[in-house]
Amino acid sequence: MSLSEAPMTIANTVPELLHRTVLLDEAIDALNLDEGERKNGIYIDGTFGRGGHSRLILSRLGASGRLIAFDKDLQAIATAQQIDDPRFSIVHDSFATMGSSLAAQGITYVDGILLDLGISSPQVDDAARGFSFRNDGPLDMRMDTTRGISAAEWIATATEQQLEKVIRDYGEERFAFQIAKAIVARRAVERISSTRQLAAIVADTVKTREKGKDPATRTFQAVRIFINQELEDLEAGLSAAYAMLRPGSRMSVISFHSLEDRMVKQFLASKAKVPQPDRRLPIRAVDLPQPQMKLIAKIKPSDAEVAANPRARSAVLRVAERLEDVAKGMAT
């Protein structure tokens, strides 16, 4: 989901919900949907957010093109339902389910996929969602509030070892042991049910932090990722996206922190890498293994975009193209 989204002059926009979309033009340009028949292809926006990317895709699609968006957030679904366009549909689920969701619609292959990972500005700025340590609110953190347990419920029952592992692995927090110990000690006295309580515990525990970075940043990131199973969804979503891409079609993925970007980079690299056979074996050139994807680009926001939207500074866009599977004779 976009960390922020940009005002646009496209039909069906909802002005009060518009924000600045990170790497908007770059991500859509990379899909090459303006080329020939590709204008009338089927595209996926894996994280609708507040619709910045979807609206730009729709503005470039041909009359018979289709755009199918996914999102777990009910507020995003409500925004998407305001788009009155027969070419557009929204699925209330994670992009990790795109394979089964589209198969149910009779769709086997698509012509481009965009995944904009992370959390959106409206989610962060709404204290009631519990994502932000800056504004006090209930400690929820669920992107889909109709499913799963809240952060408060998990923190109330997780063992000290579980807390430490999540904060260390998903937050890359070197003080994970101390923070987990402090959380367990505090919850023995009172229920930790608000963002302010959790932020205060971390602030009291972490005495040193990078300049300009709140001590609670890494812990809140870790708990949010765990509660929403973001990395599990990403792993499944990347595999599903690759399987659904038609040869010659592209995948654009925008990530906002190192854990996400590392997974995306390694996945795309594994598909672009050609295994090297033993040179001593008599293998014909036609039987040599072929790469499955071609790496197209790695793009970061311009200085101007970061100046206008500081939340974009950590964004990384990676683009790869599906190659034809010669062995399977996959048709284009």
- In 3D space, the residue among 45, 223, 22 whose CA is nearest the CA of residue 120 turns out to be 22
Q: Over 70: is that where the pLDDT of 286 sits?
A: no
Checking if the pLDDT of 122 tops 80, the result is no
**What percentage of the chain carries pLDDT values higher than 70?**
87
For residue 23, pLDDT over 90 is answered with yes
What CA–CA distance (Å, rounded) separates 136 from 252? 35
Band the pLDDT of 283: cuts 50, 70, 90: low
pLDDT in tens, 216-249: 999 999 999 999 999 999 999 999 999 999 999 9
CATH number, domain containing residue 172 = 1.10.150.170
Q: At what angle do helices 176-187 and 160-171 cross, to 10 degrees?
A: 140
**Please, which residues bridge with residue 68 across strands?**
44, 89
Share of the chain above pLDDT 90, in %: 74
Full residue range of the structural domain in which residue 217 is found: 141-227
Of 212, 227, 242, the residue that ends a domain is: 227
CA nearest to 71, candidates 96, 41, 100: 96
Residue numbering of the annotated binding site for S-adenosyl-L-methionine: 51-53, 71, 95, 116, 123
State whether 235 and 293 are in the same domain. yes
Residues 117 and 263 in one domain: yes
Q: Is 174 a member of any domain?
A: yes
pLDDT number for residue 131? 83
Least confident of 53-62, 118-127, 130-139: 118-127
pTM for this structure? 0.86
Q: Are 29 and 60 in contact (CB under 8 A)?
A: no
State the residue for tokens 């028949």.
Answer: 37
Q: Which among 299, 279, 176, 285 is positioned nearest to 226, based on CA atoms? A: 176
Domain count, the chain: 2
- The runs of H, that is alpha helices, within 89-244 are 98-103, 121-125, 151-157, 160-171, 176-187, 195-205, 217-228, 230-244
Same domain, yes or no, for 76 and 168?
Answer: no
Separation between Cα atoms, residue 4 and residue 23, nearest integer Å = 10
Confirm whether 181 is domain-assigned.
yes
* Residues flagged as binding site: 51-53, 71, 95, 116, 123
